[in-house]
Amino acid sequence: MKKLIASLTALNILVALLCLIVGSSGVFGVDVFLRVVSGVAKESDISIFFGVRLPRLILAMIVGASLSASGCAMQALFRNPLAEPYVLGVASGASVGAAIVYVLGIATMSNILISAFVFALLTSFTVYKLGSLARFRDQNYAILLAGIAIATTLSGLTSLLIYFSAQSMHKVVFWIMGSLSNPRWEEVYFSLPIAFFGILFLLLNSWNFNALLLGEEHAMAVGLNVENFRRYLIGTVSLLTASAVAVSGVIGFVGIIVPHTMRLMVGEDYRKLLPATILFSTIFMPLVDLASRISTAGEIPVGALTALLGGPFFLYLLWRR
């Protein structure tokens, strides 16, 4: 485990450096990089470095960590390996929020962010409420079903909104696909505190996740107040994913690919799995993002890339057994 943590940390540094020196505007040589870091570089180099690449790297790490840690947590709560952070309807809620802003013609960066964030939270709250009010023996199952129902309704609504958004149609669609282009420091300031405290909460509850793995009755049997824990957990995951989606759009499958890869390496014990997942996500997400911005002359949405990776990964999980 210590070895794994050390090598993941080393890889993190390596990937971070790679993302800072490689970009669509070209590769920084070592000399340029050193000059930028020491503050004596050309103005244009400095603005590319601090204005674009650094915030983009940080956002990628935040989004990756938020989605992966949330996915990992949801997989324990629902005791389902295919659970992901979006089961609470956050993605479809955020999409509606963003689309509305575009339709109204008030699409500034901060408007999109706030609208997506608020709609995402409202949606997951509704899903949770509907799920826990349902007369189901298994509350988790009810929440999952409510999530599917709400997400289906909202994606219909999103389609309508896209239809009515006329000229800005491609912008809405592009937003939904998920991308980290045009990074802003404001987005970092917004999402970093949420990510920090949210992920900290999940890490501190690693033991409780273990307790959930045998089933809720068993978790209660060892003294865990499952009802409360579920409430806090869903609240935290909603905040984490809502803020990730608000700054990046809908980037799928990260919440499944990353935790499962780590599960294969460290096993099911959440005291190891959760930290490993977070450390791997901050390698994985910037790397995929890097691929999305340098693979073509323009830029392809990173959400499309993760979805492309997601399919084969599922097949791998399917065939492994």
Partner 1 sequence: MKLKVENVTVKIESKEILKDVTLEVESGEIVALLGPNGSGKSTLLRTIFGILKPVKGVVFFDGKRIEKIEEISKNVAYLPQESSDTNLTVLDVVLLGRTPHLSGFKLPKSYDLEISKKALEEVGMIEFAGRKFSELSGGEKQKVLLARVFAQQPKLMLLDEPTAHLDISAQIEIMEIVRRKVNSGCSALVAMHDINLASMFSDKIIMVKNGKVVYVGEAGEVLTEESIREVYGADVRIKKVGRSVYVIPKTRVKRNGKIVHVICGGGSGRDLIYLLSEEGYSISAGVLNVLDSDWEAIIDVGGEFVEEAPFSPISEEAHEKNLELIEKADVVVLSNLVVGKGNIRNLIAAKIAAELGKLIVVEKTRFELRNFFGKQAEKIYEEIVKRARVVGSEREALYEIRKVLG
| Contact footprint for partner 1 (CB under 8 A) | 79, 135, 204, 207-208, 210-211, 213-215, 217-218, 220-225, 263, 267-269, 271
Which residue lies nearer to partner 1 by CB, 33 or 141?
Answer: 141
Minimum CB separation of residue 64 from partner 1 in Å reads 24
Angle between helices 90-104 and 139-164 (to 10 degrees): 20
- Helix, strand or coil for residue 276? helix
Which residue lies nearer to partner 1 by CB, 168 or 210?
Answer: 210
Contact 299, 181 (CB under 8 A): yes
Which residue lies nearer to partner 1 by CB, 157 or 213?
Answer: 213
Minimum CB separation of residue 146 from partner 1 in Å reads 19
113-143 burial: b if 16+ Cβ within 10 Å, else e: bebbbebbbbbbbbbbebbbeeeeeebbebb
Minimum CB separation of residue 271 from partner 1 in Å reads 8
Residue type, position 222, single letter: V
| Distances from the Cα of 184 to the Cα of 59, 64, 112, 141, angstroms | 9, 17, 13, 39
Minimum CB separation of residue 244 from partner 1 in Å reads 25
Residue whose entry in the numeric block shows the structure tokens 């450390």: 279
Minimum CB separation of residue 219 from partner 1 in Å reads 8
Which residue lies nearer to partner 1 by CB, 49 or 229?
Answer: 229
Which residue lies nearer to partner 1 by CB, 263 or 293?
Answer: 263
| Burial environment of residue 283 by CB neighbours within 10 A (0 to 12, 13 to 18, 19 or more) | buried
